[in-house]
């Protein structure tokens, strides 16, 4: 099937395909980070994670409108304000949800799964009621449009590069938060031994609440970034959600590196396969490979072997 391509063309295609994979990778990492933090901390998969992301996207959409109408001079920088707002809105909702729902379902991960699914339905319908069923898109600031030509044949879109840089930034932020800050130490203490952490004076309830909030906040940022490369509808959150769950489960709970590595594996294999097969078959095969590997290594790629 390769005869019709020259060697140079093949390299270019592979490169572009790899770059498309990198953008997908960035989106997956952004989405998975928040989910992974929550999963690692509470052993809970937040089924409404996609809807939190969309909340961030809608927040960005609204912010862009406000800037367009009232502060056109500052439009170039609206995205950074939007991102901060997206984080705050999602964080606040996350804390509220943890306080009103999740904490009562402690130690019932399967029930939490169902309850958060219920939440996701409610959020979806709220978006539909408020923003309508049609997808909305944001206007990109000037500097983010267009693409950067690396060679004559290879062009990479600037918004793609921006999303990648942002991902790098957020991932390092999470790393510092979890592994270099006092708060991160408390979180890890609670994960490892909840009663003991409580006994040494850590407010485990509060740690749970903020962890959940931060996880949701990061989903908000992911949603914000998402508007840079795609449009937003009430059910857009569902689009990547299975992939995201798999990324987290595949990476293994409590492992940041695992999350990133598994996002990389999944996105690269999907975008590479997409070149050879139809999009849907590529997805099917990618998911099958992940499920297959999970069966061989149920704890995920990077789980620690610990004493039971």
Partner 1 sequence: MQQRSNIRFMSRQEVLGYIMLAVILLAIIPLSLDVFRLNLIGKYLTYAFVALGLVLCWGYGGILSLGQGVFFGLGGYCMAMFLKLEASDPESTKIQSTPGIPDFMDWNQITELPWWWEPFRQLPFALSAIVLLPTLFAFIIGVAMFKRRVGGVYFAIITQAIAAIMTILIIGQQGYTGGVNGITDLRTLLGWDIRSDSAKVILYYVCSAALFICLLLSQFIRYKKLGRILVAMRDREDRVRFSGYDVANFKIFVFCLSAMFSAIGGAMFTLQVGFMSPSFVGIVPSIEMVIYCAVGGRLSLLGAVYGTLLVNWAKTIFSETFPELWLFAMGALFIAVVMAFPNGLASLFKRYIEPKLPAWYSGKTMVSKAPIIEKDSSMETAHANALGSEENIGSSKSLAKPETAVTVAPRTDEKLEGGVYVD
Partner 2 sequence: MSTNRSDFVLAVEGLTVSFDGFKAVNDLSFYVDEGEIRVIIGPNGAGKTTVLDLICGRTQATSGSIKFRGEELTRMKEHQIVHHGVGRKFQNPSIYDDLSVFENLEISYPRGRSVFGSLMFKRDREVIEEVENIAEIIFLQNDLDKPAGLLSHGQKQWLEIGMLLIQKPDLLMLDEPVAGMSVAERKKTAELLNRITQGRSVIVIEHDMQFVEDIAHRVTVMHQGKVLSEGSMERVKNDPKVIEVYLGH
Residues that bind partner 2 (CB under 8 A): 304-308
- Of 288, 245, 238, 251, nearest to 50 by C-alpha is 238
For partner 1, give the closer residue by CB, 69 or 280. 280
Cβ-based burial of 172 (10 A; exposed 0-12, middle 13-18, buried ≥19) = exposed
For partner 1, give the closer residue by CB, 172 or 278. 278
Q: Which of positions 238-257 make contact with partner 1 (CB under 8 A)?
A: 238, 242, 245-246, 249
Say if residues 178 and 188 touch (Cβ distance below 8 Å).
yes
User: Tokens in use for 70?
Assistant: 């009232």
Say if residues 224 and 79 touch (Cβ distance below 8 Å).
yes
Decide if residue 276 touches partner 1 (CB under 8 A): no
Q: Mask of contacts with partner 1, 142-181, x by CB under 8 A?
A: ----------------------------------------
Q: Mask of contacts with partner 1, 52-71, x by CB under 8 A?
A: --------------------
Cα torsion 109, 110, 112, 114 to 10°: value is 170
- The distance of closest approach from Cβ of residue 298 to partner 1 in the complex, given in angstroms and rounded to an integer, is 4
Total of residues contacting partner 1 (CB under 8 A): 45
For partner 2, give the closer residue by CB, 134 or 307. 307
Q: Which entry of partner 2, partner 1, none binds 24, CB below 5 to 8 A by partner kind? A: none
d(CA 181, CA 5): 52
For partner 2, give the closer residue by CB, 71 or 304. 304
For partner 1, give the closer residue by CB, 100 or 173. 100
Region binding partner 1 by CB under 8 A among candidate stretches 23-31, 39-47, 138-146, 152-160? 39-47
- The distance of closest approach from Cβ of residue 109 to partner 1 in the complex, given in angstroms and rounded to an integer, is 5
Say if residues 292 and 241 touch (Cβ distance below 8 Å).
no
- The distance of closest approach from Cβ of residue 53 to partner 1 in the complex, given in angstroms and rounded to an integer, is 17
CA distances from 186 to 129, 203, 255, 303 (A): 40, 9, 16, 20
Q: Which of positions 113-142 make contact with partner 1 (CB under 8 A)?
A: 113-115, 117-125, 128-129
d(CA 247, CA 264): 9
CA distances from 159 to 145, 228, 274, 308 (A): 7, 6, 22, 46
d(CA 277, CA 285): 10
Decide if residue 74 touches partner 1 (CB under 8 A): no
Q: How many Cβ atoms from other residues are within 10 Å of residue 82's Cβ?
A: 26
- The distance of closest approach from Cβ of residue 300 to partner 1 in the complex, given in angstroms and rounded to an integer, is 8
Q: Which entry of partner 1, partner 2, none binds 305, CB below 5 to 8 A by partner kind? A: partner 2
Q: Which entry of partner 2, partner 1, none binds 37, CB below 5 to 8 A by partner kind? A: none
d(CA 196, CA 199): 5
Beta strands in the chain (DSSP E): 147-149, 155-157
Q: Which entry of partner 2, partner 1, none binds 221, CB below 5 to 8 A by partner kind? A: none
CA distances from 283 to 156, 243, 270 (A): 23, 9, 6
d(CA 101, CA 98): 5
- Position among 104, 148, 169, 176 found at the interface with partner 1 (CB under 8 A): 104
The footprint of partner 1 (CB under 8 A) covers 39, 43-45, 101, 104-105, 107-115, 117-125, 128-129, 238, 242, 245-246, 249, 278, 280-281, 283-284, 287-288, 290-291, 294-296, 298
């Amino acid at each position: 099937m390769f005869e019709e391509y020259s060697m140079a063309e093949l390299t270019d295609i592979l490169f572009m395909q790899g770059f498309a994979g990198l953008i997908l990778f960035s989106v997956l990492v952004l989405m998975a980070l928040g989910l992974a933090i929550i999963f690692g901390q509470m052993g809970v998969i937040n089924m409404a994670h996609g809807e939190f992301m969309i909340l961030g996207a809608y927040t960005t959409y609204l912010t862009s409108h406000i800037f367009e109408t009232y502060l056109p001079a500052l439009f170039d920088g609206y995205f950074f304000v939007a991102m901060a707002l997206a984080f705050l809105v999602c964080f606040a909702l996350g804390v509220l949800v943890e306080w009103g729902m999740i904490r009562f379902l402690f130690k019932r991960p399967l029930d939490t799964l169902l309850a958060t699914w219920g939440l996701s339905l409610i959020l979806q319908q709220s978006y539909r009621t408020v923003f309508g069923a049609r997808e909305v898109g944001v206007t990109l600031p000037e500097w983010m449009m267009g693409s950067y030509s690396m060679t004559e044949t290879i062009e990479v879109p600037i918004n793609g590069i921006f999303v990648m840089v942002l991902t790098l930034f957020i991932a390092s932020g999470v790393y510092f938060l979890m592994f270099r800050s006092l708060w991160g130490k408390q979180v890890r203490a609670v994960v490892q031994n909840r009663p003991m952490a409580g006994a040494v004076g850590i407010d485990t309830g509060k740690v749970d609440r903020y962890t959940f909030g931060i996880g949701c906040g990061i989903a908000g940022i992911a949603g914000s970034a998402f508007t840079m490369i795609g449009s937003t509808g009430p059910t857009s959150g569902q689009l990547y959600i299975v992939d995201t769950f798999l990324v987290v489960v595949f990476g293994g709970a409590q492992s940041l590196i695992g999350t990133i590595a598994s996002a990389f594996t999944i996105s690269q294999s999907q975008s590479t396969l997409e070149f050879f097969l139809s999009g849907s078959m590529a997805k099917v095969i990618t998911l099958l490979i992940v499920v297959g590997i999970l069966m061989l290594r149920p704890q995920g790629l990077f789980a620690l072997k610990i004493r039971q």
